[in-house]
Structure 1
Amino acid sequence: MLRHLLLLLQRLRRLLQHLRVRLRRRRVACDPDAPALLLPPEALLFPFDNRTAKAKAWAKLKHHHVPNPLPCGDNCGVSINGHIVSNYRNGWTARITLFNRKGYTFKDWFVTVEMDKAYLGFQKAYSFNGTKLEGPGRLNKTVFLRGLEGLNYLTAGTDGKNPTVDPRVPGKQQSVISFTKKGTPGINIVKGEGFPTRLYFDGEECALPDEIP
Structure 2
Amino acid sequence: MIMDPKRTALTEEQLDIAGQPYSVSVLKVGYCEPQPDGTFRADGTISLVTGPSRTVLVDTGGPWDRDLLLQRLKERGLEPADVHWVVGTHGHSDHVGNLGLFQAATVAVSCDISEGDRYLPNQLAQGQPYHIDEHISLVPTPGHTGRDVSVQVTGTSVGTVLVAGDLFECCDDEDSWRELSENPAVQEVHRQVALQTADVIIPGHGLPFRVTRS
TM-score by length of 2: 0.29
* Structure number, greater radius of gyration: 1
Give the number of the structure whose residues are more often strand, by fraction. 2
